[in-house]
Amino acid sequence: MRLFLALEPPDELRQRLGELAELAQARCGGRRMPDESLHLTLAFLGEVAEERAAALAAWVGERSIPAGEWRLDAWGAFHRPGIVWVGGQTPDPELVRLHGSLWDGLAAFGVNHRPGHFVPHVTLLRRARRLETRSLPAIDLAWPWRRLSLVRSFTENDGARYQTLARSPAA
């Protein structure tokens, strides 16, 4: 099963991100991510066997993370897959530390494909026809985080669907 570790936004922020996705889709085209799938991926684990997934779920369920707040104040795009996203203008040190500590912990599970570069972002659109984000309005949102989620990704004809398998205790 395809798994990743993520932060899930609070409901009010998820709604606001959905509104930004609508706005971006109107200007850039592409496929809008459903509100319920909006998240920040901290570690993409890829295909994981069921036994290892169960061990990871137990690990996440026992692992508390420090509470923090991420400032979303920038639009961006990844050209090759046609992704439009929101994130921070500068790297958030707390998120970078959390990302690193998660990858350090994942090594015990034999998950060693840590990426070389971490760009915290929330994907709003896929397959966007226009990647010009400068015309989109300025944003300044706070994302308070308190817990980590282990999420399973299912690929279907109309895109990915996600299922949360485990959550850490709230900070």
Q: Are 86 and 75 in contact (CB under 8 A)?
A: yes
pLDDT for 88 equals 95
Q: How many CB atoms lie within 10 A of CB 3?
A: 21
Question: Which residues are CB-contacts of 3 (< 8 A; sequence separation ≥ 6)?
Answer: 45, 46, 48, 53, 56, 150, 151, 152, 153, 165
Q: Which helix (H) or strand (E) holds 148?
A: none
Burial of 74 (0-12, 13-18, 19+ CB in 10 A): middle
Question: Which residues are CB-contacts of 18 (< 8 A; sequence separation ≥ 6)?
Answer: 35, 38
Question: Which residues are CB-contacts of 108 (< 8 A; sequence separation ≥ 6)?
Answer: none
Could you list the pLDDT tens digit for every one of the 171 residues in the chain?
Answer: 999 999 999 999 999 999 999 999 999 999 999 999 999 999 999 999 999 999 999 999 999 999 999 999 999 999 988 999 999 999 899 999 999 999 999 999 988 888 888 999 999 999 999 998 999 999 999 999 999 999 999 887 767 789 999 999 997
pLDDT for 40 equals 97
Interior angle at CA 171, CA 6 and CA 71, nearest 5 = 55
Can you name the CATH fold of 2-167? Cyclic Phosphodiesterase; Chain: A, (3.90.1140)
Which tens digit of pLDDT belongs to each residue from 118-168?
999 999 999 999 998 999 999 999 999 999 999 999 887 767 789 999 999
pLDDT for 117 equals 86
pTM (whole model) above 0.85 = yes
In the chain, what are the domain boundaries? 2-167
pLDDT for 155 equals 82
